[in-house]
Structure 1
Amino acid sequence: MEVLRRYVGESNVATLGQELSFGDTMVGIGTTGEASAVYRNVQRKAEKAGHSDMAAGAAFRRAWLALTLGRYSDAEHLADEAVALARSNVQLMVELREIVRTRIAISHGDKGAVDALAKRLRQSAAEMPTLIFAPPIDDINRPTAFAQSNIIYDSAIAYADLGFWIRPDGRTSGIEVLRNAGLGPWRPGILRQIKARRYVPFDANSGYPGTYRIERFTVRADYGVPVGSRMKQRIGKLTVHVVDLTQTDAMSAAQRERMQEASAHR
């Protein structure tokens, strides 16, 4: 950043973009106070230099940070500020503000808010960034095949809906559990898996925080007939299944087409 400040100026869009990325990194390692100061400073300099969209992006980051810290009133105020600052990407900021508002509703216990947010994102989503790396989810099944094959589970299926950002640099951030129905000990491994993902970097307007996604992780065993019984029950090794709740119909069709093309060339 010092090189950029020296050669292109501290209020240049490139310099401010690097500072925003630095703030994002601070959030990722838990130094939220420093991140907030970085975002505030970028917003001030961007406003002064006339970079309205960059200022809006910094204001939105401040809103999301306030949200994650439980300062909901500040989050709403800063999201409104981001919309007011935006110029060329006003509609985008309006959509991002709605994400903040819905996340606040989720935090307040609104049971329908997760589904409402997923629906809104499906309606407004751009093309899904391409995943280039994701490690396997930690397998915490019992180590022996005999133990796995003789475990009987109740009919309930454990799942959780997780929200996260895919940043323009292809990294994930802001991973959070929006709804949890018995995920239990699988949760840490799933969080680590999302954090380690890498997507193809994509072009975005200055200050744009990235794409917000919601995925449902379901943990279940297949049906089988255990020894001494005639009834099918969920039995054996547990596996994790992932569904993108924010994937649009157009995305699904494109994904199916790519899979068919790949199969045809095998």
Structure 2
Amino acid sequence: MRLAASDGDMAAVEALIARLTEEQKRMGPTLIWSPPTPTPYGPGNMPPIERGSPLAEPQPGYFPFFWVDVGFAIGADGRVESAEILRGSELKGWAKPLVKAIAQRRYSPAAEPDDLAGRYRVERYTLTADFGTPKGSLIRRRAGMRRFERIDLTVAPPKPAEAPTVPS
């Protein structure tokens, strides 16, 4: 079932979600399935943004700085709701495929429909590449295969307060 779910078989994903125990649902939203994350200039190529943009037509020796913060809510049924770009670098059109991929994710459902603790997430995606020294130069700079790095900026929900222990 896990192999079928990893291949994107939605019936297998639904069956996997149905097998979750109440204890697993109470652990908070757990990612069950996600489509492949779009990549710049590689397999699953992202569509280029406006013609003439540095991301669409990279210039040698120039590495643009692109980032976005994507916010989304996870519904009680585990489906992503209202995925949107909250903020980012000046040009944000390149991130539309990322938002679309996030909107297709499936998380574990809530144990109780009104338990929405930890069900709003914020993730930052940054366009980056490894450092390298181009031929004929002594200056290290970002070069090579570009990729997106993701960091989870979600604020953890507060833990229930425990009663103070009094030494006896």
Give the TM-score of the pair, scaled to structure 1.
0.39
Distance (Å, rounded) in 1 between the aligned partners of 2:115 and 2:103: 22
Cα offset for 1:219?
1.1
Structure having the larger proportion of residues in helix: 1
Q: Is the 8 A contact 1:160 1:182 kept in 2?
A: no
Q: Is the 8 A contact 2:83 2:99 kept in 1?
A: yes
Alignment match of 1:129 (pick from 29, 34, 39)? 29
Cα offset for 1:210?
7.8
Match for residue 108 of structure 2?
Answer: 200
Q: Is the 8 A contact 2:78 2:110 kept in 1?
A: yes
SS at match of 1:132: strand
- After TM superposition, list the pairs within 5 Å mapping 1:1-266 onto structure 2: 128-141=28-41, 151-154=60-63, 157-182=65-90, 184=92, 186-206=94-114, 211-248=119-156
Letter in 2 for 1:240: F
Gaps (5+ residues) in structure 2? 1-25, 44-58, 160-168
Structure of higher RCO (CA pairs closer than 8 Å, 6+ residues apart) = 2
- Change in 2 beyond 3 A, CA 1:183/1:239: farther
Work out the number of aligned pairs and report it: 119
Cα offset for 1:166?
0.5
- Change in 2 beyond 3 A, CA 1:168/1:182: same
Cα offset for 1:196?
1.2
Structure number with greater Rg is 1
Percent identity over the alignment?
35
Match for residue 51 of structure 2?
Answer: none
Cα offset for 1:142?
6.4
Q: Provide the aligned C-alpha RMSD in A.
A: 3.2
SS at match of 1:153: coil
Cα offset for 1:209?
9.8
- Change in 2 beyond 3 A, CA 1:198/1:234: same
- Change in 2 beyond 3 A, CA 1:250/1:152: farther
Give the TM-score of the pair, scaled to structure 2.
0.59
1:142-199 deviations in Å (ceiling 9; x for gaps) = 68xxxxxx95333x63211111101111110111111011564531210111011111
